Amino acid sequence: MGKRINYNQTGYAQVIVKVDEVDNVLSVNEQIVAMGFQAFTPQSFVQGINNFYMILQVIFGGVGAIALLVAAIGIANTMAMAILERTREIGLMKAVGATNRDVLGIFLGEAAGIGFIGGLGGVAIGWLAGQGLNVIAIVYLAGQTAQQGGAPPSIAVYTPLWLPAFALIFSTVIGLLSGLYPALRAATMIPVLALKYE
């Protein structure tokens, strides 16, 4: 598609050029630019969209990393407070025969559960946001491709099937790692001292 740069000249404001072969797009584009016109090809349009999505990925990646750090600190803090509040309960469990491994397993299970539930919520929110972006992007791209004589797209945002599964596993592992230190503290408590705790 070519656009006239000098609007004081008479003629067409816009011309759609179709080439006979896909391989000729670049050379025809260069010839149009050499004549003093602006030219846009589907490839340049797609490149612009790709650059936009790359910037979005970097921004969302940064926000995600900060959210992950905050979530990890939150899980560790929650587990530490839970252990503090349940000190006597831990002492009682150990007094009736629970081993360090049993106590460790209980609190690591809770930490992993918190991470998994958080991951489930994140996957749901991410899926909804992706669907919203899909609708917006398809409406925008349909208008752009119609101007250039192309067919409207059927999908703009694609989520691979492995990504939600990876997110759930990753969030569970982060929960486990965040709860490891508080769980170790709980497992190594001395039963007599834990029972005396007020």
Confidence of residue 54 (pLDDT cuts 50, 70, 90): confident
Name the band, by pLDDT with cuts 50, 70 and 90, for residue 66.
very high
Q: Say how many C-beta atoms besides its own lie within 10 A of residue 174's C-beta.
A: 21
Give residue 109's pLDDT band: very low, low, confident or very high (50, 70, 90): very high
Edge-to-edge strand list for the sheet holding 14-15: 14-15, 2-4, 37-39
Q: What is the mean pLDDT of residues 57-78?
A: 88
Report the mean per-residue pLDDT for the chain: 82
Alpha-carbon span 188 to 195, nearest angstrom: 14
Please write the tens of the pLDDT for every residue from 122-151: 899 988 988 888 888 777 777 666 666 666
> Same domain, yes or no, for 99 and 128?
yes
Number of domains in the chain: 2
Tell me: do 13 and 59 sit in the same domain: no
Local structure of 18: helix, strand or coil: coil
> 72 and 167: one domain?
yes
Instruction: With a cut of 60, say whether residue 3 has pLDDT above it.
Output: no
Do 105 and 20 sit in the same domain of this protein?
no
Residues 4 and 68 in one domain: no
Query: Do residues 63 and 100 share a domain?
Result: yes
Task: Looking at the structure, tell me whether residues 33 and 107 fall in a common domain.
Answer: no
Continuous segment of H or E residues that includes residue 104: helix 100-147
DSSP 8-state code for residue 37: E
Whether 85 and 74 map to the same domain: the answer is yes
**Are residues 62 and 158 both part of a single domain?**
yes
Are 97 and 21 members of one domain?
no
pTM of the full predicted structure?
0.66
Structural domain harbouring 132? 42-196
